[in-house]
Amino acid sequence: MKRVGVIGGGTMGAGIAEVVARAGDSVTILERDTTSANAATDRIQSSLARAVKSGRLDNHASADIFARINVTLGIEDFADHNLVIEAAPEIEAVKLDLFRTLDDIVSPSAILATNTSAIPVIRLANATRNPGRVIGVHFFNPVPVLPLVEIVVSLSTAEHVVDHVTTYVQERLGKRTIRSGDRAGFVVNALLIPYLVSAIRMLESGFAGREDIDEGMTSGCAHPVGPLTLCDRIGLDVVLAITESLHTEFREQQHSPPPLLQRMVDAGRLGKKTGQGFYSYT
């Protein structure tokens, strides 16, 4: 895995690219335009600067890491890459189009991975001529800090692909892995999202205020942050997309999106990344 590609330089994609570069491998980020490319570069520089300030990196190491990261506007630049990780927005049609295009560009031996939070991997795999080389590698935000990666195995994923990717993530990237079947939400979000949705419904009903809900779970259950704060960190658009995916797959009431969540996304109040969610960040 000496040449790794990442599609999308948003919060997740930039974090994945940084982790790959920290491991000593060259990484290319695909972005849609110059503005987005510059934003991706800024995210990585800011993250490295925080690591230097905290003493986790020195200036020399930070410069070396950044030098291993390239940003491109052309997907054809992935032609010679061993592994391409898709970290595009959680929109199935967008991801399907990307996998169709990648299938025509990369080497037949290259591995195609998705960082999707909830979309079944088999749907993306079936957009290619070789579904066996497609796998889910679900990182968690912030990627440079959180140690877990879910390895999501579809019904078609080849076992040698699973072994190769798992070894790379564990031994090269230094992450812990858990293996998940290919079901909406995988392991973590299948457990987490109903909890978050319950907190949103509690706020929506007026039963408790946002600070009391969050304080209840931090001080009463030793959670590092409360559920509404966590929603803001994840991004309410991402929470909504995962909720809708879970509801489509299981048709259970606990997975139905609360109206408040939908209205906040409609209003552009997506959480920390937009400066306003359940809390204000301006």
- The pLDDT, as a whole number, for residue 117 is 86
Question: Smallest Cα–Cα separation from 81: which of 38, 144, 20?
Answer: 20
- Phi first, then psi: what are they for 126, rounded to 5°? -70, -5
Q: What residues does each domain of the chain span?
A: 3-181, 189-273
**What average pLDDT is seen over the chain?**
95
- Please say if the pLDDT value at position 1 is more than 90: no
Q: Determine whether 123 is exposed, middle or buried from the number of CB atoms within 10 Å of its CB (0-12, 13-18, 19+).
A: middle
244 assigned to active site = no
How many residues are listed for the chain in this entry? 282
150 assigned to active site = yes
Its CATH class, for the domain covering 189-273, is mainly alpha
DSSP letter (8 states) at residue 25: -
Q: Are 136 and 180 in contact (CB under 8 A)?
A: yes
Residue from 150, 156, 244, 255 carrying the catalytic annotation: 150
Please state, for a pLDDT cut of 90, what percent of the chain lies above it: 91
**98-128: pLDDT as tens digits:** 999 999 999 999 999 999 987 899 999 999 9
- Please say if the pLDDT value at position 183 is more than 80: yes
- pLDDT band (50, 70, 90) for residue 173: very high
138 assigned to active site = yes
Residue from 115, 189, 244, 247 carrying the catalytic annotation: 189
If DSSP states are collapsed to H, E and C, what string results for 215-270? HHHHHHHCCCCCHHHHHHHHCHHHHHHHHHHHHHHHCCHHHCCCHHHHHHHHCCCC
| CA Rg value for the chain | 19
- The pLDDT, as a whole number, for residue 254 is 84
189 assigned to active site = yes
Mean per-residue pLDDT for 88-97?
93
Residue from 47, 81, 138, 180 carrying the catalytic annotation: 138
Element spanning 194, H or E: helix 188-205
Residue from 62, 82, 115, 117 carrying the catalytic annotation: 117
Domain 3-181, CATH number (from 3.40.605.10, 3.40.50.720, 3.30.360.10, 3.10.20.520) = 3.40.50.720
Mean per-residue pLDDT for 163-171?
97
**15-28: pLDDT as tens digits:** 999 999 999 999 99
Please state, for a pLDDT cut of 70, what percent of the chain lies above it: 100
**224-278: pLDDT as tens digits:** 999 999 999 999 999 999 999 899 988 888 889 999 999 999 999 999 999 999 9
- The pLDDT, as a whole number, for residue 193 is 95
Angle (CA) 85-88-49 rounded to 5° is: 80
* 162 vs 1 pLDDT, higher one: 162
